[in-house]
Amino acid sequence: MTSLNPVEIRVLGCLAEKELATPEYYPLTLNALLNACNQKSNRDPVVQFDEMTVAAALESLRPIGLVTQSAEGGRVAKYCHNLDGKLKLDPAELAVMAELLLRGPQTPGELRQRASRMTPLESLQQVEDLLEDLLSRDEPVLVRLPRQPGRKEARYAHLLAGLPENVEETVARPERATLEVQAENERLAALEAEVADLRGELTALKDAFASFKKEFE
């Protein structure tokens, strides 16, 4: 699948979210979709797109089959996503994907809490099983990210925009006091090694001198 840009990701996430959370207002007009993209809740980051930006994203998503124009009658065009058809997602999988599209990488616990507003998720185990299924496909749509320092759960990210950048585990920099203690420990270890070497040399000299002395006794 073509790697999508951030605007296309937000558009798809909003269309999927509104279908599940407020089906009575779905499909969406361009204006409704613009408002959904710029919504300040349940979004990360919060953006301020204009109408042309969203329209351009719709036009780029249509040829690859991820967005279609609704066949419903009316004077104003309305738009639908085709994530479930293209990626073969059931409602629970679609809700989780929508959350990842709208907020970025999240843990299973975060996904269960947030995606439950769109579709019932019975347990954390259900979400973990769902994530594993999406992860183990012949063409995975998710990736498991390295666990962050101080966090018990790994995060998951969608792959519709390609592999996320900076997914390597971040190593926390030690505090200054810790660095100073480590340096002092290294200094003492070096001194102890040097003393041990000197003792070894002294012992060797004593042995050599003793041997030399015996030659004249």
The total of structural domains in the chain comes to 2
Domain membership flag for residue 24: yes
Same domain, 33 and 128: yes
Choose between 188 and 58: higher pLDDT: 58
Which candidate, 154, 49, 89, places its Cα nearest to that of 97?
Answer: 89
Asked if 213 and 113 sit in the same domain, the reply is: no
Length of the chain: 217
The tokens describing 126, both together, are: 């259900």
Residues 150 and 208 in one domain: no
Tell me: do 85 and 182 sit in the same domain: no
Per residue in 141-174, pLDDT (tens digit) is 999 998 888 888 899 999 999 988 755 443 344 5
Q: Are 71 and 87 in contact (CB under 8 A)?
A: no
Residues 99 and 134 in one domain: yes
Please compute the mean of the pLDDT values over residues 84-93 and round it to a whole number. Answer: 96
**Selection from 93, 87, 82 nearest residue 138 by Cα:** 87
The per-residue pLDDT for 81 is 98
Whether 178 and 147 map to the same domain: the answer is no
Q: What is the pLDDT of residue 128?
A: 96
Query: Are 116 and 48 contained in the same domain?
Result: yes
Mark whether 35 and 96 lie in a shared domain: yes
Of 21-25, 176-180, 190-194, minimum mean pLDDT range: 176-180
